[in-house]
Amino acid sequence: MSRATVALKRVRRYDEAEIRSRVAEALAEIGGLPAIVAPGARVFVKINHLSPPSPPERGIVTHPTFTAAVLTLLKEITPRITVGDDLNPSTPDGFEVSGYRAMCERLGVELVNLREVGFERVELAGEVLKETYFARALLEADVVVNLPKLKTHSLTLFTGAVKNMYGVIPGGLRVTYHGQHKNPAQFNQLLVDIFAAARPHLTIMDGIAAMEGAGPANGSVRELGVVLASRDAVAVDAVACRIIGLEPSSVATTRYAHARGAGAGDLDQIEVVGEPIASVGVTDFRLPPLPAGEIVGRAPRFLTSFVTRQLVVRPRVVPRACVGCGACARICPTGAATVVGGKARIDRRMCIRCMCCHEVCRFDAIALRRSAVGELVQPLVRTRRRARRRAQAA
């Protein structure tokens, strides 16, 4: 595999002029934007814009000011730009709440909800998927620009450039895939199947304000002050992981994409230009609740089943925070989540722990919990993980 280049820049705040300047520098260091986008080319810009609506200050969506800075650079080369993601219909309008509608109108750039412009069937040569449906906006573009948000993820540990491309398929199909592919390894391979087929030509990651903890929608905002750019999306994820103290190979999408030749996930195969990772890296970035696999392998064989059951993280309803909006019930692929008497309920027997309900709740009413025994064991696992991260940083 050829060596990938990732440009890493410091950007302290969401100031459009400053972001534009740093992104321009980053693009120059990876070969320049004209080498990627030809004059008059049709460009599709895939943002990370989860439903339901949320303001950019919550750190859930790619910040509109960040996207605006990138768009102004693209507009110097071509006017044929479409920005989009797949959103559930809502009142109020999600794009309005996030600031995207006003921003795109100001810049004269087309903004689309992908489900409103349609999807087409495509064949895949994937490990899991042999066909799926991609957004027409992506299929009709000459260049695909990926603008992910640097966030943790309670199912996949980390979500960035690779997983952001999951949003180019219909929302209903995403829910179906969660239900059909319950095994985490299989689901992560599925994510790579989609990424490999829809592989973006350019990735620029918004890591100015990242999300730590129970991401991708219910974590806490963490000021990192970084922007990453590369023609290799997998390499962007690998560098981002190292910045927050994660071994890149511990993220399944990075590991699988690297193994399948869809990008460079090994830091030894990546040249980082601009800021060195050590100058921006952190060792105390809060990760999601740990998966059972981190400790099961260290338990005696006769205890493995017991340990697994205790450490499994499950979504639990927080009744005092629940407003009965029904978002969890609408997104649940198995029907485990329902609303009864104005409050959400989750049937443990039907739950497949896809965390969709946790991701979609904007009222912090779906918490991730494990058994009492599991909670007692967790500090030991966290200590082990912190020690490993400190060793990697050194």
**More confident call, 104 vs 307:** 104
Region 124-135 average pLDDT: 97
Structure tokens given for 5: 């280049």
pLDDT of residue 276: 97
DSSP SS3 for 5: strand
With vertex at residue 71, the alpha carbon angle to CA 67 and CA 74, rounded to the nearest 5 degrees, is 145
Residue by residue, DSSP assigns 186-230 as: HHHHHHHHHHHHS--SEEEEEEEEEEESSTTTSSEEEEEEEEEEE
Dist. CA 74–CA 97, nearest whole Å? 24
List, for residues 326-360, the tens digit of each pLDDT value.
Answer: 999 999 989 999 999 999 999 988 998 888 898 89
Whether 202 and 324 share a structural domain: no
* Residue count (the chain): 394
Whether 41 and 165 share a structural domain: yes
Inform me whether the pLDDT recorded for 384 exceeds 60.
no
Torsions phi, psi of 213, nearest 5? 80, -135
Whether 307 and 266 share a structural domain: no
DSSP letter (8 states) at residue 287: P
Of the three residues 251, 280, 309, the one that is the final residue of a domain is 280
Predicted TM-score of the model (pTM): 0.87
Domain membership of residue 363 as a residue range: 293-393
CATH number of the domain bearing residue 374? 3.30.70.20
List, for residues 189-220, the tens digit of each pLDDT value.
Answer: 999 999 999 999 999 999 999 999 999 999 99
List, for residues 354-372, the tens digit of each pLDDT value.
Answer: 888 988 999 999 988 766 5
Whether 251 and 215 share a structural domain: yes
Whether 316 and 353 share a structural domain: yes
Whether 203 and 244 share a structural domain: yes
List, for residues 144-201, the tens digit of each pLDDT value.
Answer: 999 999 999 988 999 999 999 999 999 999 999 999 998 889 999 999 999 999 999 9
pLDDT of residue 387: 58
Judge whether 179 lies within some domain. yes
Q: Where residue 313 falls among pLDDT bands split at 50, 70, 90? A: confident
Of the three residues 225, 257, 280, the one that is the final residue of a domain is 280
Q: Are 210 and 151 in contact (CB under 8 A)?
A: yes
pLDDT of residue 305: 52
Residue by residue, DSSP assigns 334-374 as: SS-EEEETTEEEE-TTT-----HHHHH-SSS-EEEE--HHH
Whether 73 and 168 share a structural domain: yes
Q: Could you tell me which of 182, 389, 122, 194 has the C-alpha nearest to residue 281?
A: 389
Judge whether 286 lies within some domain. no
pLDDT of residue 274: 98
Whether 12 and 95 share a structural domain: yes
pLDDT of residue 314: 82
Whether 310 and 192 share a structural domain: no
Q: Could you tell me which of 110, 105, 114, 106 has the C-alpha nearest to residue 49?
A: 114
Dist. CA 356–CA 354, nearest whole Å? 6
DSSP SS3 for 114: helix
Question: What's the number of CA atoms in the CB half-sphere (13 Å) around residue 27?
Answer: 21
Whether 110 and 187 share a structural domain: yes
Look at the chain and report how many structural domains it folds into.
2
Q: Where are the alpha helices (DSSP H) in the chain?
A: 16-29, 64-75, 94-98, 100-107, 114-117, 136-139, 161-164, 171-180, 184-197, 233-243, 252-259, 277-280, 293-296, 304-311, 327-331, 356-360, 372-393
pLDDT of residue 382: 58
Of the three residues 280, 302, 321, the one that is the final residue of a domain is 280
Mean pLDDT, the chain, rounded, equals 90
Structure tokens given for 231: 């023609």
Judge whether 89 lies within some domain. yes
Cα 384 from chain centroid (whole Å): 25
pLDDT of residue 293: 45
Judge whether 287 lies within some domain. no
Whether 266 and 349 share a structural domain: no
